[in-house]
Amino acid sequence: MEHVLELRPEICTLDVATMNFGAHAFVNVPEHIERIARAVRAANVKPELEVFDLGHCALAAHLFKEGIFAEPAMYQLCLGIPWGAPATTEAMLSMKQMVPAGSNWSAFGIAAMEFHMVAQSVILGGHVRV
């Protein structure tokens, strides 16, 4: 986080929750997420809320409702990551439905599913990240 506060980019990635990834676990408890969100907001940096499954979407929506993230929130739906949401239209639709109204969102899929997922994102009214 120090590099974000020093460089002050327009946006920075904020993984919204704990996630298993291969043999590792990335631990982001709500208190930690709130602390980072407040620091980047004070630095006038917009967090891109990376969500990897429905539980992450629920936590991000809760934190948004609590005023932790400024409007409009910026969501990144990450699909096809091992142990996260699958790269399917159904998963994207479920995640999209949990994004607060007025928020910006984009989606991607990994590897062979990248094009399919970014095309689906456009069809559903989202943005594209490649």
Could you report the per-residue pLDDT of 8-48, keeping only the tens digit for each? 999 999 999 999 888 889 999 999 999 999 999 999 999 99
| Domain of 71, in residue numbers | 2-128
Residue 85 above 90 pLDDT? Answer: yes
Domain count, the chain: 1
At 28 the pLDDT is 93
Mean pLDDT in residue range 54-64: 96
Record the pTM.
0.93
Mean pLDDT of 59-87: 95
In this prediction, residue 103 has a pLDDT band, given cuts at 50, 70 and 90, of: very high
With contact defined as beta carbons under 8 Å apart, do 18 and 26 qualify? Answer: yes
* Alpha carbons 116 and 23: distance in angstroms, whole number: 27
Provide the CATH number for the domain around residue 10.
3.20.20.70
DSSP string, 93-123: HHHHHTSPTT-EEEEEE-GGGHHHHHHHHHH
